[in-house]
Structure 1
Amino acid sequence: MSGDPPTEGGPDDPFEGLEGIEGLEGLEGLEGLGDLGETDEPGGFGGLGGLGGLGGLGGLGDIGGLGDIPLLGDLMRTLQSAAPGANQAREVGRAIACGGVSEPNIDPTQRITIEQLVRLAELRVADATGLQPAPGAALRVEVVNRAGWSDRTVSDYEALFGALNMSISASLEPDLDDTPGDPMAAMLAGISKMIGPTMLALTTGAMVGRLAQHALGGYVLPVPRPAGKPMLIALPNVDEFSREWSLDADDVRLWVCVHEAVYCAVFGVDHVRDALSDLLLRHASAFETNPRRIEDLLGDFDPGAVGPESFARLQSELGSPDALLGAVRSSAQEALLPQMTALVAAITGYVDFTMDRIGADLIGSYDRLSEALRRHRVEASASDRFVERLLGLELDQTQYERGAAFASGVAERAGADGLRRLFTHPDNLPTPAEVDAAGLWLARIDLPR
């Protein structure tokens, strides 16, 4: 690889431009959300120093001087006026995706060029895998700008985000009745109930918007999209990536089209798509919230001892999305993770194996291009990691290498045809132990049913 690309650009404040969104009038002061990728908290925001005072939430301004805390007032006014949901997440995602600046539409001639590359990719993928990227129809493609990518992704992930919202909201309900005779505790419980769903909408919108800034196609995350929808290509990002890495633009475009077509083929297999979709939904539905964390955080804050250290501690705590959402990984989610990570490893391993088989013959600069693109996918920011955590995905280099080892282990023993057996029967999906020992998987699926 000849050198690294220049430092990725983008707005210093990914919430810039949100002040015009209905119900989000207070967000122009969220400088503390800053660069979502710069934080000491795993998957956290960069701090919340720009949030106003608590005085904007009815009654809080008079509680021991909390109204003077320069942390939460603007956010609280926003939370009271905004209706959380997909529309809010979509608007936030669009604004962040394009940095609050209007984007040009995709040139129709460029759409036609991509459609021609998709036709070629579809044929090559079908030949290499024996699978149809669009069963029963020609593979369609939607060529979009960053805002368009964000819109589609919020829509495609709506079931997952809806399950997250319901999970968090439902587990907050009982705690509102656990504080009889304690007005302060009851009020703070109310803050937790209010902040959870709205912060989830804002956070998921922000995370999708950040993904939209660098996603090349629809499968920047290996998450099934609704069957029958067109393949997704974010052309501005594809061409920007080509320029940054000094790669041939046509080669990069073709690589992305083939990569997306392979994922379409894999998720076109009903039992693969259904298995992963079910795991993702079960994970999203199993969050357990801890509203006491926010209550304790605000309740322990001593307005009479206000100083740099106390403000720094409060800001550090509130800079974590886990604190704001009150969400923690539950034991049910922990139980799902081995199965989820194993299935994702098998899928990504198969996709990479297939890309190597197709790309080496199709793209002259494939080795250099592939190295750059695989580095691109693991150089995720903290905000990328947070959305992965919300969905239950683990997509670091170790996970990709695990999948590659499984695919190569099967291919060495049984060839590409052996690896295709992943898609012939639901029982052929590997267990966590089998992903780490390809021979065990082959031995099991050879047993009589």
Structure 2
Amino acid sequence: MSDVPFGFGLPDRDPERRDQPGQDPFGFGALFGFGGPGGAGAGTPEELLGKMPLFAELQKLMNWSGGPVNWDLARQGAISSLATGTQPTSEAERAAVAEALRLADLWLDQATDLPSGVERTLAWSRVEWVEQTLPAWSALIDPLAEKVVAAMTGALPQEAMAMAGPLAGIMGRVGGLMFGAQVGQAFGRLAGEVLTGTEVGLPLAPAGAGVLVPQNVAEFAGGLDRPADEVRLFLALREAASLRLFAHVPWLRQQLHDAVHAYARGITIDREAIERGLQDAMGSMGGGFDPSNPEAVQELLGSGLLEPEETPEQQMALRRLETLLALVEGWVDAVVADAAGERLPGHGALAETMRRRRASGGPAEQTFATLVGLQLRPRRLRDAATVWGAMAQRYGTAERDRLWSHPDLLPTSEDLDEPLDFVARQGVDDELRRLTADDAAQTDTGSGTGTGTGTGTGGADGPADGDDTPR
């Protein structure tokens, strides 16, 4: 096995050839401490790396110590992919977004008892969306990445770790780079499509901020047979409705994050399967697996051995997350339909467009499928919307929104299988609660009346039976 780091060769030790023009012109031998022109007097490897822009950037990335995902790399990758296609927002666009969100809030006041959640309005460019949402993504994704890296490292057999030698010490950094590159690519694609601050199903903007991405909204509207102002208002209604829910249901955001983190806690890798795979790999390679051989490592990674296996606990967490996201989206659909009513002529067509967008794999589905392994099923969203619509029609908006007062009141995944049965049961439950309350009131009244009557009777009978009896 060669002791030379991968990608670099030993310097030519023949002084005649070494000193000829064109030999080692960049001083790579000296750079890595092998002597040559510039020698040791040129500075330490770290100092020389810092003077070369490319290597300075690589050194900065490899020295990342901010967590399991290299967010600097993710940010750079996402913005680089948007460099030629993003436009800054104009003052006119910011004014149009502010007016759309203001009008949307007025309409929503008549469709739900939940008060406004919009404290300020923002019109973001694609690059601003990437930069401003990174903190929210970090809180969501870091636990997943940390568990994956830990599971992969812990599952490697001791023999493989020993063969890897010094490479084992940088696995965490390499994992951070891998996750950062993957997340950056996903964010770049997402930033080119996302329309609002909550379209992925979670509030990614700072609290109280209503956000539209005008460039993406304009491109989205360009493919529809509706006026641009109407499309903007429809999207503003969806954004403002989502913010009302997340602002006034304090446990909702945490429940969504808990579901993702519960999935992360269950990430495990089958160590026995890895050992069997390594033995097979060694057999197919003539009895030796060389971790310094990039082709061998790539073959191992591509074999699926290091992919986590989904446990029953993780499946439960994903179902819970899927149901919560469907309930949020379904409530937004129902409330926006009530608010738009006859005011927005194209509401029906726009709502159908959004449903198709989700069904064909919109930003929310693509993001969660890539980062969490979850694919939102459009059937769940339709069933959730059916629950909220039927609740409002049968019991009123106050009773519909009352279900958000506690997690235990919300429909479960099984309830969404038969949404109208769940709605019917709410009426039975309400009747039972009223009967229970009436029985309790009658019991209290009867107890009070008996005590009062006994006291009154005793008081009236006392003087008649014994006026001469001293007291």
Deviation at 1:129, TM superposition (A): 1.1
**Residues 90 and 151 in structure 1, CA contact (< 8 A), matched pair in contact too:** yes
Partner of 1:17: none
Asked if the contact 1:284/1:390 (under 8 Å) is kept, the reply is: no
State whether structure 2 residue 113 is matched by structure 1 residue 130: yes
| CA–CA separation in structure 1 for the residues paired with 2:278 and 2:390 | 50
The answer to whether structure 1 residue 144 and structure 2 residue 91 are counterparts is no
Secondary structure at the residue paired with 1:214? coil
Tell me the secondary structure at the aligned position of residue 288 of structure 1: coil
For the structure 1 residues 273 and 126, does the alpha-carbon distance in structure 2 shift closer, same or farther, using more than 3 Å as the test? farther
Shift of 1:78: 9.4
The answer for the alignment partner of 2:212 in structure 1 is: 233
> Within the alignment, does 1:106 sit opposite 2:89 as a pair?
yes
Give 5+ residue unaligned stretches, structure 2. 10-57, 287-293, 437-471
Opposite residue 144 of structure 1, the aligned amino acid is W
Shift of residue 409, structure 1, vs aligned partner: 4.0
Q: Residue in 2 aligned with 1:164?
A: 144
Report the alpha carbon displacement of residue 163 of structure 1 after superposing the two structures with TM.
Answer: 1.3
* Rounded Cα–Cα distance in structure 2 between residues aligned with 1:159 and 1:106: 27
The 2-side partners of 1:234 and 1:349 are apart by 22
Counterpart of 2:217 in structure 1: which amino acid? V
The answer (yes or no) to whether the contact 2:330–2:381 under 8 Å persists in 1 is yes
Q: Which AA in structure 1 matches 2:79?
A: R
What CA distance in whole angstroms lies between the structure 2 residues aligned with 1:186 and 1:290?
A: 22
Aligned-residue offset at 1:265: 0.8
Give, in angstroms, the shift of residue 82 of structure 1. 6.4
Secondary structure of residue in 2 paired with 1:128: coil
Deviation of 1:228 after TM superposition, in Å, equals: 2.0
Is the Cα contact below 8 Å between 2:193 and 2:363 reproduced in 1?
no
Question: Which residue does 1:372 correspond to in 2?
Answer: 353
**The one of 222, 237, 256 aligned to 1:258:** 237
Give the 3 Å change call, closer, same or farther, for CA 338–387 of structure 1 in structure 2. closer
Q: Match of 1:361, SS? A: coil
Inter-partner Cα distance in structure 1 for 2:261 and 2:384: 22
Query: Counterpart amino acid of 1:95?
Result: S
Q: 1:283 aligns to what?
A: 263
Q: Counterpart in 1 of 2:72? A: 87
Return the letter of the residue paired with 2:149.
Answer: S
- 1:442 corresponds to 2:426: yes
> Is 2:200–2:364's contact at 8 Å kept on the other side of the alignment?
no
Residue in 2 aligned with 1:23? none
Q: CA deviation at 1:180?
A: 4.4
- 1:355-413 superposed Cα distances (whole Å, 9 cap, x missing partner): 21122323122222222232223322799536335336432322322322333443454
Moved more, 141-150 or 377-386: 377-386
Which structure would you say has the larger RCO, counting Cα contacts within 8 Å and 6 or more residues apart?
A: 1
Deviation track 1:251-286 (CA, whole Å, cap 9, x = no partner) reads 111011110011111111113233223223332444
Q: Which moved more, 1:346-355 or 1:374-383?
A: 374-383
Cα offset for 1:141?
1.9
Contact 2:199 2:363 in 1 (8 A): no
Q: Distance in 1 between matches of 2:63 and 2:299?
A: 25
- Once residues 290 and 191 of structure 1 are traced to their aligned partners in structure 2, the CA distance between those partners, rounded to angstroms, is 22
Deviations along 1:194-241, whole A, 9 cap, x unmatched?
Answer: 543322222122112211111111222112446624122111010011
Query: Could you say if the C-alpha distance between residues 213 and 267 of structure 1 is closer, same or farther in structure 2, counting changes exceeding 3 Å?
Result: same
Residue 367 of structure 1 aligns to a residue in which SS? Answer: helix
CA distance in 1, matches of 2:211, 2:408: 30
**Equivalent of residue 399 in structure 1, options 364, 369, 380:** 380
Is contact 2:266–2:311 with CA below 8 Å preserved after alignment? yes
1:9 maps to: none
SS in 1 for 2:211: strand
**Contact 1:154–1:208, Cα closer than 8 Å, also in 2:** no
Matched, 1:203 2:182: yes
One-letter amino acid of the counterpart of residue 131, structure 2: D
Instruction: Give 2:163's aligned residue.
Output: 184
CA contact (8 A) 2:329 2:381 kept: yes
Largest Rg, 1 or 2: 2
**CA offset digits 1:21-75 (Å, max 9, x no partner):** xxxxxxxxxxxxxxxxxxxxxxxxxxxxxxxxxx99935999xxxxxxxxxxxxx
Provide the rounded CA distance (Å) in 1 between the counterparts of 2:230 and 2:159.
Answer: 66
Which residue does the alignment assign to 2:411? 430
Structure 2: how far apart are the matches of 1:414 and 1:289?
49
Tell me what 1:43 maps to: none
SS in 2 for 1:300: helix
Corresponding residue SS for 1:104:
coil
Tell me the equivalent position of 1:245.
Answer: 224
Q: Distance in 2 between matches of 1:167 and 1:314?
A: 21
- TM-score for both structures, normalised by structure 1: 0.69
Cα–Cα, structure 1 residues 407 and 212, in superposed 2: closer, same or farther, change >3 Å?
same
For the Cα contact (< 8 Å) 2:197–2:210, is it kept in 1?
A: yes
Given the superposition, is the C-alpha separation of residues 184 and 272 from structure 1 closer, same or farther in structure 2, using an over 3 Å criterion?
same
Q: CA deviation at 1:242?
A: 1.0
Q: Say what the alpha-carbon RMSD is for the aligned residues.
A: 4.0
Match of 2:202 in 1: 223
Distance, in Å, in 2 between the alignment partners of 1:329 and 1:104 is 41
Partner Cα distance (2:326, 2:3) in 1? 47
SS in 2 for 1:232: strand
Cα distance in structure 2, aligned partners of 1:292 and 1:60: 33
- CA drift at 1:250: 0.4
* Structure 1 residues 299 and 115: CA distance shift in structure 2, 3 A: farther
Q: Distance in 2 between matches of 1:318 and 1:381?
A: 29
User: For residues 227 and 300 of structure 1, do their structure 2 counterparts lie closer, same or farther at Cα, with a shift above 3 Å needed?
Assistant: same
- Tell me the SS of whatever aligns to 1:141: strand
The runs of 5 or more residues in structure 1 that have no matched partner are: 1-54, 63-76, 305-310
Amino acid in structure 2 at the alignment position of 1:113 = A
C-alpha distance in structure 2 between counterparts of 1:209 and 1:361, whole Å: 37
CA shift, 1:142, in A, is 1.7
Q: Matched residues in 1 for 2:372 and 2:109: separation?
A: 30
2:110/2:339 contact within 8 Å kept: no
Between the aligned partners of 1:294 and 1:192, the Cα distance in structure 2 is: 17
Between the two proteins, the alignment pairs up a number of residues equal to 369
CA distance in 1, matches of 2:330, 2:207: 24
**Secondary structure in 1 aligned to 2:212?**
strand
What do the CA deviations read for 1:299-326 (whole angstroms, capped 9, x no partner)? 828578xxxxxx9999898679xx5984
With over 3 angstroms needed to count, the CA separation of the structure-2 counterparts of 1:174 and 1:106, relative to structure 1, is same
- Contact 2:161 2:168 survives alignment (8 Å): no
Contact 1:258 1:355 survives alignment (8 Å): yes
